[in-house]
Amino acid sequence: MRRLSRCALVLLIGFHAGVAAAKDTFFDSNGVRIRYVDEGVGEPIILIHGFPSMIERTWVDTGVLADLAKDHRVVALDLRGHGKSDKPRDTRSYGNELAQDVARLLDHLGIARAHIVGYSFGGVVASKLLTTDSRRFLTATLGGSSPRRGWGVEDERNADTVAAQLEGPIPYGWLVRGTAPPNQPGQTDDAIRQLSNGIAADNDPIAHAALMRSGQELAVTDAQLRAVRIPILAVMGSLDPALASATELKTILPHMTVVIVDGAVHPPSNQRGTLRRPEFVQAIREFVAAHRSGSSGQ
């Protein structure tokens, strides 16, 4: 389960209640109702949250959306299976459909090209788009994430294991255990159950099980990544386990810029989370400013 725990840590973006609400807007994406927000004016930036989260918990509560919207058009969506978007329960509704929702949203809004930012699992979705729809993007930022490079027998086994747990009595127990800080004392079974129930209250574990079983469709090859020509930025906390994967990715994408936020951890719910650090937004701002376009289809 060691690899499973590491995967869980990379996927989680944090869970807590009491976040600010964003305006509800919806569009139809191939039969699935997707919720999004569209704020600000300027060159567009698309934000993709992690698992299992939503617009508020990743982008609103951390202040990222409000900061970028000061001088950019910022569009953020609830991925299918998350937040206020529809939550289909069949595996065929996920996989590459998660990425294509973003492309369809660009079409819906009449945006020809945009900067894209994905955090945690959102970075996996963004990476898939770079190999299928790179013409739609000016730059890509991977926060606390890296592409899903390949899919083998062990990956399939891990996905089935997680899906089975999501369909069980403590659906998010694997996530709670896998995302506990390394220096934190072991949690009791009751504490794990309570945290799992809290996550389940805002999510559909059966829909997430279907999502997990679709994981192979979001995998990309090293050859596909090498063919990507747009500028790529990785912003990683120095205490984020995803940092190792991003460092390794640099050997595949030598042109990628890597910014390490000292002392930052993965979950945004943590006050030391990378998304809550001013360095995160500043790195995006500087990167976007260096790669502006006068024909982004605003």
pTM: 0.90
- If you average pLDDT over residues 62-66, what whole number do you get? 97
Tens digit of pLDDT for each residue in 87-114?
A: 999 999 999 999 999 999 999 999 999 9
Query: What is the architecture of the domain spanning 2-290?
Result: 3-Layer(aba) Sandwich (3.40)
Tens digit of pLDDT for each residue in 154-211?
A: 999 999 999 999 999 999 999 888 766 556 666 788 999 999 999 999 899 999 999 9
- If you average pLDDT over residues 52-59, what whole number do you get? 95
Asked whether the CA dihedral 36, 40, 45, 47 is positive or negative, the reply is: negative
pLDDT at 30: 95
